[in-house]
Amino acid sequence: MYKIGKNARKKWMAAVMAALVTVAAAAGCGKTDKAGAEERKERNSITVAASSDTGSMDPAGSIALTYLTYSVSALDELLTFDADGEIDYRAAESYEVNEDSTVWTFHLREEAVWSDGTPVTSADFLNTMTRALDPKSGSGYANYLFPIRNAEAIYNGEMESGELGVETPDDYTLIFYLEKPCVYFLDLLRLPVYTPSCSTYAKETGSGWDTDPKTSVSNGPFYLAEYVPEQYMTLKKNESYWNADAVSLDEITYRFFDSQEAMLYAYESGEADAATGLPSTVMSLYEGKEDLEITEMIATRYIYPNLNVEPLQDVRVRKAISLALNRENLCQAVGGDTEPTVNFIAAYMKDKTTGNYFIQEAESPFQENVKEAQKLLAEAGYPNGEGFPVLTYNYPTLEMDSDTAQVLQEQLKKNLNIEIKLNAQELQVNYSERRAGNFDLCRMNWTADFADPYTYLSMLLSNSTYNCSGIQDAQYDALVAASDTETDPAKRAELMHQAERLAVGEQFYVIPLYSMKSCNLIRPKLEGITQIAATGALEYRYAKWAD
């Protein structure tokens, strides 16, 4: 099979994109838009092109992209933070905390109800937490409950769920008792495991209640009206929502697509009113047009090496692989929406105290160095790659990841003379195999769940439910634990920088590749779409069509 060179492939991709634009225009783009976008405007609805349908929609379950897409429009957390760092109260209307920050009391909105009209109660929040702490739920977020008294012991089967340090003295009061002070506790509240699930229906994880419109009730601006797996889900306005007057749209449909090109064509043809995470070539195609919106993603793409696989348990091998990569060349091949990074913590995450990008406040964890990488590999017993086993690199069948995989394979062969077998997988399969620990090297992407570096550092803790590679590092655990209780912002930041240097610049538990910007297309007449400060993702709950 003829293999297209990287530059040729990029030109070919650009030609394909241009052809899509031309075809849409030749077919009567304005007419198509009227039949699509204008019709939806008249119905006061929008359609959003979304990535492949993956994972559960149960906040206590094994969630992935679909839940994250659904939840920002359909579920209210207790509270969150806006772009200015101010508290945005949602399911809660106020809170109190004791002097040592170990007892947090939240007062729920008494006017808040589920989309079926029943009250949202403190028991509904406890319901999600209790179910998530059962390992059978498959929740990757369960460890974020561990600051709560007895949560980790319950997860490990050492205590009963009734001993969790959460009290519900009445329907509208929720009290958390923490094991020790946790300076970022309020940030955790936007995570799935702290989000309510209606006790009437959400009795068992994996039973299907979450995708059945009859039982998948919501406490947010929209509720699930229709769900067709791998095709689309339609959300309708929740007229019972406590803040319904601020919600303009009557309906949001999320259509699932397996490729960026398909998402682009959906926008071009008028099938979608917004499409996110599009190929970087769209930047030049739409340069100067109102449709184009470039946003910074609080995300990092990286390689996850399995420490249980020979010879990746040898730090010299992991370090050699990391130092041998040329990230600048990688990004040139992958696209203009990427930026090289040697940090695990996202390049665009800001320090709340200083307002600066967090990673820019410390030295880089390491420097690329091919000669040093070759020396390390020889010291590990593989001079010039001799005798090195063929490792398999698992990655999703997405354009960016396919391009990345090919460049990684080429660079490691050229610089270390080692063979990497590429294994493209459907996104859900890639996710499941990684979670099960069935990989040598795996593509990983982490978008921040909340606006604190802990969202990254926590994934490498020995007890993390996202630790799929066998990391057990007491020194690292101690540094992160110390940062949990440090109230001085500067001292806490230094502890987190130390933890990242240890994990990424000394032990190489992960191999960072690049940070990203999101290339998005949005109808110029569609207003009110905001960016979630914690993640960089777009939020449509208060979107509206301009007159």
pLDDT digits (tens, 9 = 90+) for 218-229: 999 999 999 999
Query: What values do phi and psi take at 432, rounded to 5?
Result: -65, -40
Q: What is the pLDDT of residue 35?
A: 62
Tokens representing 364 are 């880089």
Alpha-carbon span 64 to 139, nearest angstrom: 10
Residue 156 scores a pLDDT above 90: yes
Q: What is the pLDDT of residue 16?
A: 44
Tokens representing 15 are 């030609």
Q: Are residues 219 and 180 in the same domain?
A: no
Q: What is the pLDDT of residue 355?
A: 87
Instruction: Name the average pLDDT for the chain.
Output: 91
Cα separation of the two ends of the chain: 53
422: three-class secondary structure by DSSP: strand
Contacts of 207 (CB under 8 A, 6+ apart): none
Q: Are residues 376 and 245 in the same domain?
A: no
Mean pLDDT, range 165-170, rounded to an integer: 98
Last residue of one domain, picked from the residues 159, 194, 229: 194
Last residue of one domain, picked from the residues 194, 226, 254: 194
Report the CATH number at residue 262: 3.40.190.10
Q: Are residues 290 and 328 in the same domain?
A: no
Instruction: List, as one string, the DSSP characters of 101-129.
Output: S-EEEEEE-TT-B-TTSPBP-HHHHHHHH
Q: What is the pLDDT of residue 171?
A: 98
Query: Of 6-15, 70-79, 198-207, which range is least confident?
Result: 6-15
Distances (CA, A) of 457 to 224, 402, 474: 34, 27, 14
- Write out the residue range of the structural domain in which residue 92 sits: 74-194
Mean pLDDT, range 29-38, rounded to an integer: 55
Q: What is the pLDDT of residues 443-476, one digit of tens each?
A: 999 999 888 999 999 999 999 988 999 999 999 9
pLDDT > 70: percent of the chain: 94
In the chain, the number of structural domains is: 3
Alpha-carbon span 456 to 444, nearest angstrom: 12
Q: Are residues 285 and 260 in the same domain?
A: yes
> Contact 530/546 with Cβ under 8 angstroms?
no
Residue 439 scores a pLDDT above 70: yes
Q: Are residues 319 and 282 in the same domain?
A: no
Q: How confident is the model at residue 82 (pLDDT cuts 50, 70, 90)?
A: confident
Helix (H), strand (E) at residue 216: none
Q: What is the pLDDT of residues 124-142, one digit of tens each?
A: 999 999 999 999 999 999 9
Tokens representing 374 are 């070759």
Report the CATH number at residue 84: 3.90.76.10
Mean pLDDT, range 184-194, rounded to an integer: 95
Q: Are residues 380 and 499 in the same domain?
A: yes
Q: What is the pLDDT of residues 355-384, one digit of tens each?
A: 899 999 999 999 999 999 999 999 999 999
Residue 1 scores a pLDDT above 70: no
Residue 505 scores a pLDDT above 80: yes
The reply to whether 203 falls in a domain is: no
Q: How confident is the model at residue 53 (pLDDT cuts 50, 70, 90)?
A: confident
421 CB neighbour count, 10 Å cutoff: 12
The reply to whether 60 falls in a domain is: yes
Contacts of 211 (CB under 8 A, 6+ apart): 57, 224, 227, 229
> Contact 296/338 with Cβ under 8 angstroms?
no
> Contact 109/121 with Cβ under 8 angstroms?
no
DSSP 8-class letter at 143: G
Last residue of one domain, picked from the residues 139, 163, 194: 194
Q: What is the pLDDT of residue 526?
A: 96
Q: What is the pLDDT of residue 399?
A: 80
301: three-class secondary structure by DSSP: strand
Q: How confident is the model at residue 258 (pLDDT cuts 50, 70, 90)?
A: confident
382: three-class secondary structure by DSSP: coil
Taking Cα atoms as reference points, which of 315, 304, 242, 193 lies closest to residue 89?
Answer: 242
Residue 328 scores a pLDDT above 80: yes
Query: Of 277-281, 298-302, 345-349, which range is least confident?
Result: 277-281
User: Which residue, chain included where needed, has tokens 């949001």?
Assistant: 252
Q: Are residues 236 and 136 in the same domain?
A: no
> Contact 411/496 with Cβ under 8 angstroms?
no
Q: Vertex 502, ends 337 and 64: CA angle to 5°?
A: 45
66: three-class secondary structure by DSSP: helix
453 CB neighbour count, 10 Å cutoff: 25
Residue 97 scores a pLDDT above 70: yes
Q: How confident is the model at residue 55 (pLDDT cuts 50, 70, 90)?
A: confident
User: Which residue, chain included where needed, has tokens 């184009």?
Assistant: 292
Q: Are residues 121 and 47 in the same domain?
A: no
The reply to whether 199 falls in a domain is: no
Alpha-carbon span 274 to 50, nearest angstrom: 9
Q: Are residues 426 and 506 in the same domain?
A: yes
Show the DSSP H helices in 324-467 as ranges: 327-334, 370-379, 399-416, 427-435, 454-457
The reply to whether 206 falls in a domain is: no
Q: Are residues 268 and 404 in the same domain?
A: no
Alpha-carbon span 81 to 207, nearest angstrom: 33
Query: What values do phi and psi take at 163, rounded to 5?
Result: -95, 5
Q: How confident is the model at residue 4 (pLDDT cuts 50, 70, 90)?
A: very low
Q: Are residues 280 and 237 in the same domain?
A: yes
Category of 206 on φ-ψ map: left (φ > 0), alpha (ψ -120 to 50) or beta? left
Q: What is the pLDDT of residues 227-250, one digit of tens each?
A: 999 999 999 999 999 999 999 999
Q: How confident is the model at residue 11 (pLDDT cuts 50, 70, 90)?
A: very low
Q: What is the pLDDT of residue 26?
A: 35
Q: How confident is the model at residue 65 (pLDDT cuts 50, 70, 90)?
A: confident
Q: Are residues 309 and 455 in the same domain?
A: yes
Contacts of 535 (CB under 8 A, 6+ apart): 297, 298, 299, 447, 448, 449
Alpha-carbon span 46 to 54, nearest angstrom: 22
Alpha-carbon span 2 to 321, nearest angstrom: 28
Report the CATH number at residue 318: 3.10.105.10
